[in-house]
Amino acid sequence: MTSQGRSSPLLEARNIWVVYSDGTVANKGVSLTLYEGEIHGLVGENGAGKTSFVHVLYGVVRPSAGEISIRGVKTRISSPQDARRHGIFMVPQHNVLIPSLTGIENIRLSNGKGAVERVHRIVDELGLEVDLETPVERLERGMVKKIEVLRALSTGARIVILDEPTSVMSPVEVEDLARLLRALRGAGFSFIFISHRLDEVVEICDRVTVLRDGQVAYTGGVDDVDRLYRLMFRGEEFLGDRHGGGGTDLLRVYLGIEGNGQEELANMYLSGSRGFTGYVPGNPYRAVVPGMSLVDNVRFRVLERDVDYEEFTLRIVRSYEVVAKDIYTPIDRLSGGNMQRFIVGREVELSQDRCVLMYPTRGLDMRSMALLHRRVWEAVERGCEVIYFTEDIEEALMLGGLVSVVYRGRVSEPVPADKADVDRLKMLMSGIGWS
């Protein structure tokens, strides 16, 4: 399988430093070796420096120090085009294909005829199950991701960087993607796999590099989620223990991939409430005003209410561990994770009798997730009804409450999280077992 002993290093990054113009040091001497035919996980909490590191490999960010070798030859990568010439391709988190075209049409359009032939060859040789003939907009997201991987390979790439490829997939789709990656690994392709879902990383990756504060905290094989968690957070114990109190009907958890009718459900909850209803929309950028400070980003939400904005903002920043220079910093200066925690904090703490949270932990690391879960339970304990949407089965089980699966506009019978049958939830999420 992994054959580190046999094969030679395909890519070696040594002692990479990334210093941004504002003085932020995002990578402090990161080294990583990628072997031929390896799926290499890259994990770390938000802000650990994962994105900065892969941006160096992809020529988006210029490192301040360090060197990169490809097949033993020292190389400079100064742009994404350059990276592609060296056989490196990055698949971004969000879909970049043209929705109305099929997979093949997309590949032909972006990379030409030769690329199409190359893809056909790979698909035939490895016997891959990929639908390249249906317009992308009619495909499930897992299939789209598989096509994006093939599109990357169609450029002749040998190394593919996958940025959180599974963040919006159902468990069955994740398994499907894993199958594809394993088949491609057998053919000598290599992958760098960024993910926050540690169970997947353990399942899919041959080796894992853990980043902490811009440094490598660990590189090697990992076969246990708890160990990985401790590596990410300096040996802290796993905070995300399952919460008790499964079955309280104040916490309603809707599990399902976005776009299965969650929007409509959320609107139903938003319209039938008396006091102030907190709401984190699926697209959190709808809930912030760029160019305004954190305080004003609280103020705009409760303009008519008598709130001490400054004090409230400070409270949110503290209890949700938002990293910001001060509360007068423009909100666009915050990193994605911090902005997300800020918005969720604002909505949860403003809520009076109800709070609707759509995918509030999307893109957050497990520690932030555990923190938000604690705050959600505090809200529940003070009598606030929380409607919680998630795409992640692990999260749903960890959070507790009453869980239903949402699929194509249907909602399954709610069950207490601590009595839920994982396999059944997985099947329902994938459309199996509905009467």
Partner 1 sequence: MQLYRGLATLLAVSIAVAAYSGVIILYGGDPVEAYLKMFRNAFLDPYGLRETMRLAAALGIISLGLSIVFRAGLWNIGAEGQYVLGGLAAGYVVYILSLHGGGPVVPLLMGALIGGLYAALPGVLRWRLGVNEVLTTLMLNYVALYLLYYVVYGVWRDPQTGFPVTPEIPSLYRLPEIGGFVGGLAIMLLLAPVLYHLLFHTRYGFKLRVYGLNREAAEYAGYDRRMIIVSGLFISGFLAGLAGAGDFLGSYYRLMPRFSSGLGYTAIIVALLASNHPLLVPIASILFAGFLYGSYTLAIVADIPTEATYLMTGLLLAMLVSTQYLERWIGWLARRL
Ligand X SMILES: Nc1ncnc2c1ncn2[C@@H]1O[C@H](COP(=O)(O)OP(=O)(O)O)[C@@H](O)[C@H]1O
Taking CB under 8 A as the criterion, the residue among 133, 271, 303, 383 binding partner 1 is 303
Buried b (16+ CB within 10 A) or exposed e, 400-411: bbbbbbbbeeee
Nearest distance from C-beta of residue 28 to ligand X, angstroms: 11
- Asked if 299 is part of the footprint of partner 1 (rule: CB under 8 A), the reply reads yes
Cα dihedral 66→230→228→430 (10° resolution)? -120
Task: Name the residue nearer to ligand X (CB basis): 274 or 325.
Answer: 325
Within residues 38-67, the interface with partner 1 by CB under 8 A covers none
Site size for partner 1, by CB under 8 A?
18
Binding mask 330-349 for partner 1 (x = CB under 8 A): x-------------------
Contacts with ligand X, residue ranges (CB under 6 A): 20, 22, 24, 26, 44, 46-52, 335
Buried b (16+ CB within 10 A) or exposed e, 336-354: ebbbbbbbbbbbbbbbeeb
Q: Per this entry, what is the length of the chain?
A: 435
| Binding partner at 50 among ligand X, partner 1, none, C-beta below 5 to 8 Å by kind | ligand X
Task: Name the residue nearer to partner 1 (CB basis): 247 or 281.
Answer: 281
Task: Name the residue nearer to ligand X (CB basis): 36 or 365.
Answer: 365
Within residues 261-280, the interface with partner 1 by CB under 8 A covers 279
Helix 141-154 with 103-111: angle, nearest 10 deg:
30
Nearest distance from C-beta of residue 6 to ligand X, angstroms: 31
Quote the tokens at residue 296.
């004003």
Q: Which residues contact 157 (CB under 8 A, 6 or more apart)?
A: 84, 87, 88, 89, 189
Contact 1, 207 (CB under 8 A): no
- Asked if 82 is part of the footprint of partner 1 (rule: CB under 8 A), the reply reads no
The stretch among 124-132, 157-165, 285-293, 387-395 that binds partner 1 (CB under 8 A) is 285-293
Q: Which residues contact 423 (CB under 8 A, 6 or more apart)?
A: none
The bridge status of strand 190-194 relative to strand 251-255 is unpaired
- Show the beta-strand stretches assigned E in 94-202: 159-163, 190-194
Nearest distance from C-beta of residue 50 to ligand X, angstroms: 4
Task: Name the residue nearer to ligand X (CB basis): 57 or 420.
Answer: 57
| Binding partner at 301 among ligand X, partner 1, none, C-beta below 5 to 8 Å by kind | partner 1
Taking CB under 8 A as the criterion, the residue among 242, 286, 305, 382 binding partner 1 is 286
Interior angle at CA 324, CA 322 and CA 325, nearest 5: 150
Taking CB under 8 A as the criterion, the residue among 292, 314, 411, 415 binding partner 1 is 292
- Asked if 21 is part of the footprint of partner 1 (rule: CB under 8 A), the reply reads yes
Taking CB under 8 A as the criterion, the residue among 199, 203, 296, 321 binding partner 1 is 296
Q: State the DSSP H helix or E strand holding residue 279, giving kind and residue range, or none if neither.
A: strand 277-280
User: Residue numbers of the site for partner 1 (CB under 8 A)?
Assistant: 20-21, 279, 281, 285-292, 296, 299-301, 303, 330
